[in-house]
Amino acid sequence: MDWSQLLTPLFLTQLLAAGVTLATPLALAALGEVFAERSGSLNLGLEGIMLFSGFIGFNAAYHIGNLWIGILGAVMMGSIMGLLFAFMTITLQANQTVTGLAINFLGNGLAPYFYRLVFKVTLDTPRVEPFQNVPIPVLSDIPFIGDILFNHSVFTYLMFLLVAVTFVIIYKTPFGLRLNAVGESPQTADTLGVNVGRIRYICVVIGGALAGMAGAFYSLVELGSYSDSMINGRGFIASALVIFGRWDPVWTFGGALLFGLIDAFQNRLQVLGSPIPSNFLQVLPYVMTILVLLIGRIRKPPAALCIPYVRK
C-alpha cells in the first residue's frame, strides 16, 4: 500500500464526505436521545427502534413504491415505540434501563420475524431504489467544500437542519426552558406549573421518531434493502455520543461526525489494501465508543436522569 495516497486531495475529500454520510444516522438518533435524556428519560432501546423502524420504512417503500412514504412509516413506528417506552417508564414507573433493553429486544425480534413473514425466504433480496445524492446548485461546485457538505442525500440535509433546530429549541425557547427544568429538578418545575409527565412524553416520542428516521437511513439510503445486521450496534453508539456531547446537540453532532470519520477511514484503508488486519480496522470505531464512555464518567448528566417523578 502506498501511504502517500492518504495525503492526496481526492482521498481527503472522499474521506470527509463519507464521514459526513456515516455520521448522519448516528446524529439523528443521538439528537433525539438528547431530548429524551435532558428531560430525565434514558432510552436504551434505540438499537431495536432503529432496526424495526428501518424494516417498516423499507416495507412501506417497497410495497407502495414511494421512498417518502417509507420515511413516514419509519418515523411513525419510531414514535410508537417511543410512546410505548414512555408509557412504561413515565406512567407505570417501570425501570428505565430494563424497559429500554426490553424495547431493544422487542425491535430486534420483530424486525426479522416480520421480514421473513412478509417477504418469505428467497434467493433474490427484495430491494428498492435508494435515495440518491442531491447536489445543491452552485454550492456543490465549490472546490473541496462542495463535495463534502453539499452533495448528499436528503437525510444529511435534514440532519444539518435538525442540529440547528434542536439547539434553538433547547436553549432559545420556552419549551426548552421547561425541558431543562424537568431534567434538572422536576419537583421545582412542577411547583412552577410545568407538566412534568407531558414534557417527558413529548421528548421521548421525539427521540423515538428521530431513531426511526435513523433506521430508515440504513434501509432506504445505505442499502436499498433490509438486513438483520444493518444497525450493527449503532443505537448504543448513538447513546454513547449523547454522553460524549455533554447532552448538547452541537457537541453531540461533533461526536457523531468524529465517529463517522473514523468509520470512513477504516473503510478506506481496507479498500486501499492496508497491511493492517481488517478485523482490527473494523474494531476502531467501537474502541472510540469505549473511550467516549470513559470520558463520559467525568461529565455531569441531567440531575433527574433515570429518576421517576411521582407528583405529591
Q: pLDDT tens for residues 142-155? A: 888 998 999 999 99
Mean pLDDT highest for which of 75-79, 144-148, 243-247?
Answer: 75-79
Does 308 map to a domain?
no
- Count how many residues are written for the chain: 312
Q: Domain count of the chain?
A: 1
Closest alpha carbon to 91 in 41, 25, 27? 41
- Domain that includes residue 204, residue range: 3-296
Question: In this predicted structure, what is the pLDDT of residue 185?
Answer: 92
What's the CA gap between 119 and 117, in Å, rounded?
6
Question: In this predicted structure, what is the pLDDT of residue 310?
Answer: 78
Tell me the mean pLDDT in the region 1-28: 83
pLDDT range class, residue 273, cuts 50, 70, 90? low
pLDDT range class, residue 283, cuts 50, 70, 90? confident
> Is 232's pLDDT higher than 80?
yes
Structural contact between residues 150 and 140, judged by C-beta atoms closer than 8 angstroms: yes
> Is 74's pLDDT higher than 60?
yes
Does 302 map to a domain?
no
Does 202 map to a domain?
yes
Does 239 map to a domain?
yes
What's the CA gap between 60 and 111, in Å, rounded?
13
> Is 241's pLDDT higher than 60?
yes
Tell me the mean pLDDT in the region 105-133: 90
Mapping DSSP to helix (H, G, I), strand (E, B) and coil, where does residue 151 land? strand
Does 304 map to a domain?
no
Distances in Å between the alpha carbon of 9 and those of 3, 43, 67, 258?
A: 14, 41, 34, 19
> Is 21's pLDDT higher than 80?
yes
Question: In this predicted structure, what is the pLDDT of residue 7?
Answer: 66
Does 307 map to a domain?
no
Does 303 map to a domain?
no
Does 241 map to a domain?
yes
Beta-carbon contacts of residue 253 (< 8 Å; ≥ 6 apart): 23, 27, 30, 31, 159, 163, 245
CATH of the domain at 77: 1.10.3470.10
Closest alpha carbon to 247 in 59, 93, 36? 36
What's the CA gap between 54 and 52, in Å, rounded?
5
Question: In this predicted structure, what is the pLDDT of residue 226?
Answer: 95
Task: Count the neighbouring beta carbons within 10 Å of the beta carbon of residue 116.
Answer: 11
What's the CA gap between 183 and 38, in Å, rounded?
5
Beta strand ranges found along 26-165 (DSSP E):
134-135, 151-152
> Is 20's pLDDT higher than 70?
yes
Please list, residue by residue across 167-181, b when 16 or more beta carbons sit within 10 angstroms of its beta carbon and e when fewer do. Answer: bebbeeeeebebbbb
pTM confidence score: 0.92
